[in-house]
Amino acid sequence: MRPRSSTRHGIRRKFAALSALALGAALAVAVPTTASAAARVDNPYTGAKAYVNPQWSAKAAAEPGGSVIADEPSFVWMDRIAAIEGAGDAMSLREHLDEALDQGANLFQVVIYDLPGRDCAALASNGELGPTELDRYKTEYINPIADILDDPAYANLRIVTIIEPDSLPNLVTNAGGTAGSTTQCATMKENGNYEKGVGYALHTLGAIPNVYNYVDAGHHGWLGWDTNFVPAAEEFKKAATTEGATVADVQGFIVNTANYSALKEPYFKVTDSVNGTTVRQSKWVDWNFYVDELSYAQALRTEMVNQGFASNIGMLIDTARNGWGGSARPTSAGPQTSVDDYVNGGRIDRRIHAGNWCNQKGAGIGERPTTAPESGIDAYVWAKPPGESDGNSQPIANDEGKGFDQMCDPTYTGNGRNGNNLTGALPDSPLAGHWFSAQFQELLHNAYPPLGGSSGGDTQAPTAPTGLTVTGKTSGSVSLSWTASTDNTGVTAYDVYRAGVQVGSSATASFTDTGLTASTSYSYTVKARDAAGNVSAASSAVSATTSDGGGTGTGTLKVQYKNNDSSATDNQIRMGLQLVNTGTTAVNLSTVKVRYWFTPEAGASTFSTACDYAVLGCGTLTENVTASGSPAAGASHYLEVGFGSGTLAAGASTGEMQLRFNKTDWSNFDEADDYSRSTNTAYADASKIGVYVGGTLSWGTAP
């Protein structure tokens, strides 16, 4: 074996041409000093400069057009014991970390992926350890990784780990009793070595102060059904409290790892219906409660808090290959001739079936790595480096423990996990993790947002946003709006900065910043970004001071709201609500009522209400509409939501409640002047929605 020092010097020479490229990769504009990088932070991606893997970067840059994404940060995969010291020409874990220091990065991302009996439902990613080799996993895999990560030389790096993709979700869906079950998964459920291995990894790596553990949580097309959703959360909690681990060892969860599920479905929602038939009944949705990864991730985060994880946990979403652009990308909703036509005509995800996962034809690069893009989301990341194969399309002999999975064969007609459909896989694919040039080219071609910049495309930045204004504030949030920017090809997003550090992004000219401190002044600017990645100059700054309590009085409850209704003039009012206990003692929910004030305008004076989804269960809620005793502007009536029983623990949330109501004659509302309505589409504190405990206003300001 070559001495480590000569290996590093060889790597430096080999990738010298890429050094400037790698040094330019950053997830946010602020680059912390050594001292700030060493401190534990709530979101490791805030203000971080992430490591660019020079070996992946070189392969990407060598592809036609690939230089446009070659400087993007992605995760390094430790997919076998030999990867720790470096197998073949691959860099070792220590060499990657040393290179991160050389780049001036302060964020390093690594996938921990070598459980006993790994990926019991997909042969392409089977591992080297047998189902009972838990001791080898601990002593030959996790312990050596921990020893390296705990080296003081790396103490100023924020090290983000993904803990064991596909393991725990398989125990929920593929370990017996379903069409997709396998004997291998049943074995792993019975012996408990997935849970023990994950727990040991969390406990061992979580003891290192600068390590941030994120547990893999599947994707919406795997765990989004009500029969899977809460059982999966319970399984994650079980693993996180095994082998010495606690929930404090978990920074958050990641969804869509190495998968293709669309980030957002802009043209249909799970609450839509066609000719009286819910979209959940369509063949594609198949009664799932979620149609995209963002809604699934945000709901799962709420459920994990309910399970006892910290209220500030964050979610990651792998967006490396879920862009679904190109000529096949829909531009509007599908026809309303049937619910299947409506969904299939408008869905961004163009897979044959949401269970298809191997080298998907038609997929594209997705959102570039971005910090805090949505409420509850720590970052969009590239967990699976684009161009690395998911598995081989035909049997290939190898010494990596990787089998042949028919889901990677484009001629295979499927199994119970994908509804017995064709796989949608690309032909002629190599072993999992090996470079797949044809896939990389397809991902570039179908990227969304489209690629530009250094590939010879658009280089013109948008104009700076103007008219930045504070439109509302509570004790814990500030709402902003601004005048839209212009661009030669079109603005795709606005990045919002608080005191110079990016705190989120918005596709529209408005944003609500949450999680703030009462009676505190904050300064904001906004920059516009186009599809090619060109960024405008910053807007003029605006300052806002949060209120001193948001009208909460002496109560400890607050309500958060998001607008689920894209039209203010249709025949339904739809919203998402969640109740949060900010106090130190549990609250008896049977004493609590939530009121949303509105005006019905003309038409019927009677109403129908519905609960489409609630983490607590729709059966535990009561909803009715009542005329206000003292009508005020925008508030002649209110929807009152009650809770039949139960308690809300200190620091806990009820989780999402998706509610709607209509007049019995289905005449239209005009919600624009409604007292409680807001336009935010992510959860934010709502001071104009009242919370009553024992009949006394505890949160909010009544009209």
Instruction: Find all residues with CB under 8 Å of 522, minimum gap 6, and list them.
Output: 478, 498, 499, 513, 516, 543, 544, 545, 546
Helix 54-62 with 4-14: angle, nearest 10 deg = 30
β strands within 222-341, DSSP E: 252-255, 273-274, 277-278, 314-318
Asked whether 391 and 432 are in contact (CB, 8 A), the reply is: yes
- Return the SS3 of 101: helix
Q: Are strands 557-563 and 573-581 parallel, antiparallel or unpaired?
A: antiparallel
Nearest to 280 by CA among 225, 229, 346, 335: 225
Question: What gap in Å lies between CA 639 and CA 689, rounded to an integer?
Answer: 10
- Distance from the first to the final alpha carbon of the chain: 75
Instruction: Find all residues with CB under 8 Å of 23, minimum gap 6, and list them.
Output: 103, 104
Asked whether 344 and 274 are in contact (CB, 8 A), the reply is: no
Cα Rg of the chain, angstroms = 25
Q: What angle do CA 97, 102, 105 make, to 5 degrees?
A: 70
Nearest to 7 by CA among 589, 15, 359: 15
Tokens describing residue 635: 């508030």
- Return the SS3 of 690: strand
Active-site residue identified among 79, 98, 119, 249: 119
The tokens 């009242």 sit on which residue? 690
Q: Is 119 noted as a catalytic residue in this protein?
A: yes
Question: What gap in Å lies between CA 461 and CA 486, rounded to an integer?
Answer: 9
488, β-bridge pairs: none
Active site residues: 119
